[in-house]
Structure 1
Amino acid sequence: MENWMQAAGQLAQAGLPSLGSLIGSITGGPLGGTIGGAVGRGAAAAIGAALGVAPTPEAITQAVAADPAGAQIKLSAIEADAKTQADYLADIANARAMQLGLVQTQSWVQNMPAIVTLLIFLAWITLTVALYFVQAEIPERVYQLLSQAYGASNLALGTAIAFWLGSSRSSQIKDNQITALLPGSGRR
């Protein structure tokens, strides 16, 4: 276990703190043996593959020690992806916290997602009826505009449904795992 902590520290010193945190999650905190361990082992496998070594603490440590600058270059894409994912998850958490705050303060704005969803649904129904059930001759330019609006309403309706139903269960589990392991998440 100590070897993973050494590898994590070495990655952090090489300018890759997010990767160091992910690797450190193999042993750290209450999630170390379960979710954290699985994510950490996945990160170790990706790091080992990028460095061209086995995903073991010894091999990673030796590769980084042998060429810290080269390791930083090879692992910078993984580090950037980890930071992007952290930012994305923070944005989702902020949006959820804002919505919860509106509900708790009983603000009228709390109803806006429902109102917008209803308007999107009504627009979709109206465009569906106009395109598929109106028997009158529609000029070509108007038909093209209606078709574009119908496509946009389909996309908006899908987004609204995803807002209310959330993403898939496995995606939610993955987001929770990554959030728990990121530095500063407070959920270690």
Structure 2
Amino acid sequence: MWDKVKQLIGTAAPMVGTLIGGPAGGAVGGLVASALGVDNTPEAIEHAIKNDPEAFLKLKQLEMEHAQELKRLSLEEGRLAMESARIAMADTQHAREQHRDHWMPSALAIAMVGMVALMFTAMMFGPPMPERYDSVLMIIVGSVLTAFSTAIAYWLGSSKGSVDKTKHLKTSGG
């Protein structure tokens, strides 16, 4: 519901519209509700925007009066998003670091390649499946291919190549 309100507000007050959908949305929603004289609910705000001819003017005025605070909230929201991305990347890097010399990447890659090869061999040369199983078969194939691509990207992706290159440079004295 807030997405609809966000779009409506964004046409008159883009900074307010952007912030209302993010982590600071509750505070910004309260400012919007107060400026429009309604409850702080998406329904009440949407109703006021659609039915009050001066709503957009009030929102624009709100944005101008609170420009500094809105900019600060926007910067804080960006900082939080960057921190979240940094934590996710560090987590992935840590997991790769923990398993970099493990036998699992090779075993997993071989097992996944074998499973995909057998699956497609069975589909091409095996007995035809009854039509009523087409949907189930496509779901299974999609799931296997998704797992295959995820495993390959995790274990053998560009980060793995970078780790191997760094290890080679350290051992060769480069």
Structure 2 length-normalised TM: 0.42
Relative to its length, the structure with more helix (as a share) is 2
Q: Which has the higher contact order (CA 8 A, sep 6+)?
A: 1
Report the structure number with the largest CA radius of gyration: 2
TM-score where L is the length of structure 1: 0.39
